[in-house]
Amino acid sequence: MKKEDSKPTLEARRAFLAKLGGAATCAGAVVGAATLGVIPAVSAKTETPSGGASFPTKDYDWTKHQWGFGVDATKCIGCLRCVEACKTENEVPRNAHQFRTWVERYVYLEGEKAVRIDSQQDPVNIQASGSEKEFRFANRYKDAKVEKAFFVPKLCNHCAHPACVQVCPVGATYKTEDGVVLIDHDYCIGCRYCVQACPYGARYFDEEKGVSDKCTWCYHRITKGLEPACVEVCPVGARVFGDQKDKQSPISLFIRNNRVQVLRPESGNAPNVFYVGIDKEVN
Amino acid sequence: MPKHIFRLVSLIVGFLVVTIIAVPLLVPDSFYRFGHYRANSVVAIAAQQPVLQTANYCKDCHSERHAQWSASNHKSVTCEVCHGAAQGHPQNGKLPIPKDAAKLCTLCHEAMPGRPRTQPQIQVTQHSGGQQCTVCHNPHSPKIAAASVKVAGNAAAGKQKSADCAACHGAAGISPNDTWPNLAGQNAAYLVRILAAYKSGDQKDVAMTPLAQALGDADIQNLAIYYAGLNCKGAAGGKAAGDVAAGKVLAKNCAACHGETGIGSNPAWPKLAAQKQGYLVNALKAFKAGLRKDPMMAGVSRGLSDTDIADLAAYYAAQSCQSTK
């Protein structure tokens, strides 16, 4: 009884929905046609980056470069001069919890299964440095039975398919032609969606300016022919930077001459920071 | 057209008109120039000025330091790592010279699990006895490299020549007098260096200068080999005139070059074990007063009092001259 009752109701609903769909399509066509008037006006402005004069500066053409970064963790000594240089160069807030680049220490103790990880913002390390504005690794494992230990510098991966860019609701973060992910601080509305989206924790929120911030590979330096500040100061060559379009650049040689890996390849972001000498625990 | 449909259509048309007018006004000029972002923000970011200026920036004015630094194994540590960012320098004043070198140097050189073996590392508590690194090391060229000269001489010829020295330094290189040094068993490379310094006038001594000036280069080599090959067994520093225990504590500061008991690893530096006490005191006082010139020794002797010097001399004099290795 119940089934027979419900049948006509369902059919009637289906018919109604079909008519509604038709009406919506018609309306959509009308609106769409009208909107087309707007879209060409916008799309006409979109240029191919290769056309016209060199961009973004007159001495630097971003179509001629594809930047890449290498990290050789076997060389890193954990001196944190890169962190210091980055803070200075980019006016990163002087505190122990906001960083554009940082260094992690991985320590395997005898008889322990889990790896111990700390970075310069660990309270013990802050105490060793004596200030939240200075950075140093405390020698906390000097008397422990260390089976294996190493340092890993981290920074924004400048992914080929950046999740942070995808989620930005206002187009305030974007991928440049030369492979750098940048943030437009004037356009950022401070929603922090990108901070959440980054699988690497590379972004932080600057409360004072009300915007998200992260590593730019020192875009203002590399467009002037300099190296990023962290690469410039690294005393052991653990950080490598260069143009992937130049087959003899440090980064091309680094990728070619080493077995490199990227962090979290499964996330699909296709990072452009290449690592040598890290364990599977590093991600 | 029914009234309500007309209202709906006019609403939609009105909305479209507002959109068409508003969109170009609200979207910034450079937005969509290359994509869904403001192209002008790239220009603004690229136009920022670098804060760190690189070592080339320092080169013109600090050419001497730059040359020394760039030839040393600290050349991978750029100027601004220790002195801070050079933006605005020299217009806005001097850059700091790090006061607490020990704190700065240990950022890289403190022995720590996780640092690669190739990195030079020190046990902070055992290395310098709390002294600043700059006492012994030049930060612009930190490796202490008293070039170890290769000595190739003839011991027999040296023995002949040594007749001239025997009156003061003893027939077998063991001095009969507290103020003249024992030579038996001394490092040949050091003997060559010091004799050459007397000869050239870099180092002066009433007795040694004229004697050394009479020596040829071959004589110096032969003498060095001869004295280095002598047995130092008979050497004794004499009765302690200072506090040996206190000297032992002070000697920790000297251990990096002269070894814990006065026998160092580098033959360019003299052995001190079982050396004459009076000679050691005089030598240290001469370094302190600048009469003997050595940048390293001038630095380390500056802070020593006369009592410290006596204690140190007593300690080294009391050590055995034969290497325990």
Mean pLDDT is lowest, of A6-20, B54-68, B131-145, for A6-20
Element (H, E) at B316: helix B306-317
Tell me whether residue B143 is in a domain.
no
Query: What is d(CA B19, CA B6) in angstroms, rounded to the nearest whole number?
Result: 20
Q: What is the architecture, at CATH level 2, of domain A163-173+182-213?
A: 2-Layer Sandwich (3.30)
Return the bridge partners of A173, or none: A183
Residue A1 has a pLDDT of 43
Give the pLDDT confidence of A83-108 residue by residue, as tens digits: 999 999 999 999 999 999 999 999 99
B72 touches chain A (CB under 8 A): no
Give chain B's radius of gyration (CA, Å).
34
Has the ipTM of the complex gone over 0.85? no
Residue A40 has a pLDDT of 45
B84 touches chain A (CB under 8 A): yes
Report the residue from A56, A88, A173 with minimal CB separation from B85.
Answer: A88
Does residue B201 or residue A260 have the better pLDDT?
A: A260
CATH for A62-159+217-276, options being 3.90.76.10, 3.20.20.80, 3.30.70.20, 3.30.420.10 = 3.30.70.20
CB B227 within 8 A of CB B235: no
Q: How close A219 gets to chain B, by Cα (Å)?
A: 6
Report the residue from A47, A80, A142 with minimal CB separation from B113.
Answer: A142
B241 touches chain A (CB under 8 A): no
Structure confidence at residue A30 as a pLDDT band (50, 70, 90): low
Residues B35 and B181 in one domain: no
B45 touches chain A (CB under 8 A): yes
Give chain A positions within 8 Å (CB) of B46: 56-57, 60, 219-220, 223
At residue A3, does pLDDT exceed 50?
no
3-state secondary structure (DSSP) of residue A104: strand
Does residue B276 or residue A31 have the better pLDDT?
A: B276
Residues B288 and B158 in one domain: yes
Residues B170 and B99 in one domain: no
- Please identify among residues 187-226 of chain A the ones whose CB lies closer than 8 Å to any CB of chain B: 187, 216, 218-221, 223-224, 226
A32 touches chain B (CB under 8 A): no
Residues B168 and B197 in one domain: yes
Residues B40 and B72 in one domain: no
Domain ranges of chain A: 62-159+217-276, 163-173+182-213
Tell me whether residue B25 is in a domain.
yes
Give the pLDDT confidence of A206-223 residue by residue, as tens digits: 999 999 999 999 999 999
Residue B325 has a pLDDT of 43
CB A241 within 8 A of CB A227: yes
B48 touches chain A (CB under 8 A): yes
Give the pLDDT confidence of B156-213 residue by residue, as tens digits: 888 988 888 988 898 888 888 888 999 998 988 889 889 988 998 888 888 899 999 9
Tell me whether residue B261 is in a domain.
yes
* Structural domains in chain B (count): 3
The stretch B208-228 carries a mean pLDDT of 90
Structure confidence at residue A32 as a pLDDT band (50, 70, 90): low
Residues B129 and B155 in one domain: no
- Please identify among residues 51-70 of chain A the ones whose CB lies closer than 8 Å to any CB of chain B: 55-57, 60, 62
Residue B257 has a pLDDT of 80
Give the pLDDT confidence of B119-150 residue by residue, as tens digits: 999 988 878 767 788 877 889 988 876 555 67
Tell me whether residue B122 is in a domain.
yes
Tell me whether residue B241 is in a domain.
yes
At residue A33, does pLDDT exceed 60?
no
How far is the CA of A123 from the CAs of A120, A129, A132, A145, in angstroms? Answer: 8, 10, 9, 22
Residue B147 has a pLDDT of 57
Structure confidence at residue A16 as a pLDDT band (50, 70, 90): confident
CATH number at residue B293: 1.10.760.10
Report the residue from B28, B34, B52 with minimal CB separation from A49.
Answer: B34
Average pLDDT score, chain B: 88
Give the pLDDT confidence of A191-207 residue by residue, as tens digits: 999 999 999 999 999 99
Task: Find all residues with CB under 8 Å of A8, minimum gap 6, and list them.
Answer: none
Chain B: residue whose CA lies nearest to A173: B37
Give the pLDDT confidence of A273-283 residue by residue, as tens digits: 999 999 999 98
Euclidean distance between the first and the last CA atom of chain B, given in angstroms as a whole number = 113
Residue B321 has a pLDDT of 80
Structure confidence at residue B236 as a pLDDT band (50, 70, 90): low
Tell me whether residue B140 is in a domain.
no
CB B271 within 8 A of CB B186: yes
Residues B259 and B165 in one domain: yes
Global pTM exceeds 0.80: no
Q: Which among B94, B85, B96, B98 has a CA at the least distance from the CA of B133?
A: B98
One-letter amino acid for residue B158 of the chain: G
A1: its two tokens: 């009884």
Q: Which domain holds residue B185?
A: 149-325
Query: What is d(CA B79, CA B56) in angstroms, rounded to the nearest whole number?
Result: 10
Residues B155 and B297 in one domain: yes
Tell me whether residue B309 is in a domain.
yes
Residues B154 and B228 in one domain: yes
Mutation site, A122, A233, A239, A276, interface B, largest B CB count within 10 A: A233
Residue A29 has a pLDDT of 60
Give chain B positions within 8 Å (CB) of A38: 19-20, 23
Task: Give the side-chain half-sphere CA count within 13 A for A106.
Answer: 19
